[in-house]
Copies of this chain bind each other. A is one copy, B any other.
Amino acid sequence: MTQALRLGIAGLGTVGVGVVRIVRRHADLLQARTGRPVEIVAVSARDPNKDRGVSLSDYAWETDPVALAKRDDIDVFVELMGGENGPAKASVEAALASGKDVVTANKALLAIHGQDLAEKAEATGRVIRFEAAVAGGIPVIKSLTEGLAGNEITRVMGVMNGTCNYILTRMQSQELGYNALFEECAQLGYLEADPNLDVGGIDAAHKLALLSSIAFGTKPNFDGIEIEGIQQISLDDIHQAHDMGYRIKLLGLAQRTARGLEQRMQPCLVPSNSPLGQLEGGTNMVVIEGDAVEQVVLRGPGAGEGPTASAVMGDVCDLARGLQIPTFGRPATSLQEATPARTGLPAPYYLRLALLDKPGALAKVAAILGDAGVSIDRMRQYAHSETTAPVLIVTHKTTRATLDHALEGLRATDVVSGDPVALRIEQV
């Protein structure tokens, strides 16, 4: 098989340029490894005149990515534009319809439209590969789909948004509040155009939906994910977690239970000495648990030109080598509908509430918790501002339903100001 694998690349931002660089720099290496040349035939981006720091003159230029996707001189359409609709979706559909395989880094597109696109791909005998969509340079899709294919997967967890982990670990190390670090990230260009995708947990939840689908053989079910961002995390929370031997992480978790598929993306406390607790800065980590392998932990850069382009090229090399695996690891038409389930497993929770300066306020809080059936492991009250005092509580193990009942009571009482913060303490 010495015919070249011909790529059309749509989107020449950071990742697209990274892919071009690798294909040019490693032409010999790629051929040695895959047994055939890997070539770029055509590219597409908005502005053909922008200097991207890499020569594009060897490649045909298409202004319209759909036109690129339909070209009959490409074998693989590499979609690096992003966005869950618009040109990304239209061009991926066009590529599949015209018999091209697709490599994409687009987590939003696949989390929302993945089932439909996977069925379209199978109808035309093509495949969609998306290693770069989840956890940047870490070969996690490959590990889960192929390396661990002999396992019934029992749980998948991960820290999959580098910006959030950067903020949370900098809060700890720099003694800075959330808002200051949000500003720092904005200035460093670490935030998506819509920052809520990052700090609101949505970007990470897109990734979790893809991992879940492969792990459990279910259709990607982004809407079934409980999502909570990190905007409510205060320096008090970080300190208190630290004092108890925990770290706060925006943790994604998916597991199949008797009641259905549990998927959550929310700030949690994890033990400081666990691999997840030790994860600093913008690095990503995915933990995969299976009935045979027990636990595998994968760690690496979650974003950036090189790492993301590395993941794209891993997929490209697989296609060059002739690997054809269904999008989510088994035929799309065999994937089951996911039944979302809230977590039923009891866990300790960390609570923070702003107590109003009224006589008997703390007793009232304790009574509400007790009446709801939530028992207190530890409690600490600080003197803080003029009108409210922060109260930090760690509960004994309780179910989420019981806790919700207690939170309802706390919201209804007249001694608590604003919404209490409740974080699960996860054993990982």
Contact = CB atoms under 8 A, between A and B. Distances in A.
Contacts of A150: 22, 26, 30, 309-310, 312-314, 316-317
Number of copies: 2
Contact of A149 (B33, B309, B334): B33
A26 B34 CA distance: 32
Contacts of A34: 149
A242 to B, nearest CB: 15
B290 A295 contact: no
A300 B306 contact: no
Question: Does more than half of chain A's interface fall in helix, strand or loop, or is it mixed?
Answer: mixed
Interface in A15-41: 18, 22, 26, 29-30, 32-35
Contacts of A35: 330-331
A233 to B, nearest CB: 23
A192 interface: no
Nearest to A335: B32
Nearest to A285: B297
A294 interface: yes
Contact of A296 (B137, B294, B317): B137
Interface residues of A, number: 59
Nearest to A32: B330
A424 B29 CA distance: 32
A32 B217 contact: yes
B275 A146 contact: no
Contact of A292 (B137, B147, B275): B137
B298 A148 contact: no
Interface in A137-165: 137-139, 142-143, 146-152
A322 interface: yes
A22 B292 contact: yes
A358 interface: no
A301 interface: yes
Contacts of A292: 18, 22, 137, 306-307, 309-310, 313
Given A146-B314, A147-B314, A149-B313, A138 B29 contact: no
B293 A137 contact: yes
A301 B278 CA distance: 19
A152 B150 CA distance: 30
Interface string A58-82: 0000000000000000000000000
B297 A293 contact: no
Contacts of A290: 310
Task: Pick the 10 closest A-B CB pairs, nearest first.
Answer: A150-B313, A139-B147, A149-B317, A296-B300, A292-B310, A293-B310, A137-B293, A292-B306, A297-B299, A147-B314
20 contacts: A32-B217, A33-B149, A131-B147, A137-B292, A137-B294, A139-B296, A142-B142, A143-B147, A146-B318, A146-B323, A149-B318, A150-B310, A150-B314, A292-B306, A293-B300, A294-B300, A294-B307, A296-B299, A297-B297, A297-B298
Given A148-B310, A321-B325, 6 more contacts: A148-B314, A291-B306, A293-B300, A294-B300, A294-B301, A323-B323
